[in-house]
Amino acid sequence: MEPTASLLVIVGSTRPGRLGLPVAHWFVERAKQDGRFEVDLADLALIALPLLDESAHPRLQQYRHQHTKDWSARVAAADGVVLVTAEYNHGYPAPLKNALDYLHAEWMHKPVGFVSYGGVSAGTRAVQQLVQVVRALRMLPLVESVAMSNPDRFLQAGAFEPDEAARAAAAGLLDAVYDASVTATRRS
Ligand SMILES: Cc1cc2nc3c(=O)[nH]c(=O)nc-3n(C[C@H](O)[C@H](O)[C@H](O)COP(=O)(O)O)c2cc1C
């Protein structure tokens, strides 16, 4: 039997009515159906981290606040991470940067994939910026990704049902994050 990898899926946008949530629910469903993952959906709107309010650098792990300790435990438990990101003004949403900046060692050496969406650019400019940031955290950004342009066309009665291209991309990303997660777990 294949080992199970724990996958943390983070929804990066927090505004009321965001498309990020149905997109993330769709991806989480795909991951659960895949059968190789235990999935934790981290909705930054619910987690509601304040703007970084720890005085010590996160690499010291001298966390004073319970919200930081909770976030640290959740990220530490993951073998792999998928960031679901919108594109805001050619970048990624600020709550996502804040959530990344809170921690350090917890992210280290973890494979990270991207599910992006936006206008014609499909959120790819946001992903390019994120790649720079996750490299600074010593994460391992995956090439396989899901990028959707104008994804509101896939919304039907609140459910998100994208086309075959997105479904195939999600399968490729899940394969990549699984392989990298299992390899990283064996090394540690
Ligand atoms: C503040 C803001 C800035 C945006 N900037 C861009 C952009 O630069 N490029 C783009 O493709 N879409 C842009 N959009 C459109 C978003 O891609 C689209 O609204 C998407 O649904 C936002 O994600 P969310 O619904 O999860 O918040 C922007 C939307 C907002 C609210």
Q: Would you give the DSSP letter of residue 110?
A: -
133-176 confidence digits (pLDDT tens): 999 999 999 999 999 999 999 998 878 999 999 999 999 999 99
Q: Write out the two tokens for 125.
A: 């400019």
Measured distance between the N- and C-terminal CA atoms of the chain, rounded to whole angstroms: 21
88-118 confidence digits (pLDDT tens): 999 999 999 999 999 999 999 999 999 999 9
Ligand 1 pocket, CB under 6 A: 13, 15, 18-20, 86-90, 118-119, 121
Beta bridge partners of 88: 91
11 CA closest ligand 1 atom index = 26
Other Cβ atoms less than 10 A from the Cβ of 63: the count is 17
Going by CA atoms, what residue is nearest to atom 8 of ligand 1?
89
Q: Is 5 exposed, middle or buried (0-12, 13-18, 19+ CB in 10 A)?
A: buried
Cα of 86 from ligand 1 centre, angstroms: 6
Indicate the pTM of the whole model.
Answer: 0.97
